[in-house]
Amino acid sequence: MIYKTIGTDRVSAIGFGTGYHRPENSDCSTLERSIQGAVDWGVNFIDTAPVYGDGASEEALGEILKNLDRDNMFLASKISPEDTTYSGVIKSVEDSLVRLQVDTIDLCQIHWPSATVPVEETTRALEQLILDGKIRYIGVSNFQLHEVQNTMNALQSNSLMTIQSEYNFFERSLEKNVLPFCKENAIMLIAYSPLAQGKLVNGKNQRNILDKLAEKYNASPAQIALRWLIADPNVMVIPNTSKPSRAIENATAADIHLSPEDIDYLSENLKTPRDLVDTKEVRPSNDYSRKVYQTIEEALENKMRMSPSPLELSEEMKRGNFLKPIRLKELPETISGKNYDLVEGRLRYWAWVIAYGWDKPIPALIWKTRS
């Protein structure tokens, strides 16, 4: 295993993400075997959040931690946008500690920026929790660069230790400014969805490139993807899986020794360019296990209480702030005038339409289905 440093802690570069583990009952044996398999191969970093299964992920992890060496584990959780007030942060962490059955959370991250609560209020609570010994380090997740900078300026006695963001061969937007910022400020980037929901790369041509290198190193394509990411000194990854064999496969990716030439080759050839797409050609689809508004009226009403709301996010966009491109998938054939399914970025899509109307093309990354 490769280890990196967060604060004074030695943390595995490949962690274990629990974002999609939502046990419906108390039987967490498969998840426990997956985590134990990863731990056996050197993983000591587990990431969770209250929102995952409405607390079920933390509860399951709390039971599993009883059978692990807690002193050698690095545990990360989060604060949801609706809990970023001073009292909300305190209660959120205390509730997480109960579910996790621990005294301290090593890394507490603001899960999403709040559109209504000043970040100074949130950081003030987090710093108090450090004084109280309930958390040790502070991080952010899904923050734009200016929001990261505002958070750093708001901290009085502590440093911002981590930024968590999506990063994989398909989504590389953060290489423009967030990753360089991490390097300049000794911040660790935690890459979630490092395997792009199992797709790894975009299209058959890119997959052929990845497959050939996997064959060269006697590894799986997923292992090559993980090893490419953690080759950067400031990057860690938190893949998630419910399969014990896959957890071990992920962990042992650290043992692959990619040559600098092959790292550069992957960097240059596995990119997806940003396109500008007519918003009217996009079909907001609920085919991807995500709730989505179907009309602009639904988005404005925000009955699902998404946070930030599409309207709040549209105000950010009008100020020139845009988190990252939406993700689209080519439809095999045009359906009712639509050429793309909206796979990821449902809030950003409607915020863009609210901010700019239907005639301004939206930045997008497009999954290829034909090449």
Contacts of 277-281 with CB under 8 Å at 24 or more apart are: 277/328, 277/340, 277/361, 277/362, 277/364, 277/366, 278/361, 279/349, 279/352, 279/353, 279/358, 279/359, 279/360, 279/361, 279/362, 280/337, 280/358, 281/337, 281/338, 281/339, 281/340
Confirm if 325 and 166 have CB atoms less than 8 A apart. Answer: no
**Long-range contacts from 152-159, C-beta under 8 angstroms, 24+ separation:** 152/185, 154/119, 154/120, 154/122, 154/123, 154/124, 155/123, 155/127, 156/123, 156/124, 156/127, 157/127, 157/130, 158/126, 158/127, 158/130
Bin 40: left if φ > 0, else alpha if -120 < ψ < 50, else beta. Answer: alpha
Using left for φ > 0, alpha for ψ between -120 and 50, and beta otherwise, residue 7 falls in left
C-alpha dihedral sign at 130, 43, 239, 216: positive
Active site residue 192: no
From the candidates 3, 20, 52, 349, which is the catalytic residue?
A: 52
Residues with catalytic roles: 52
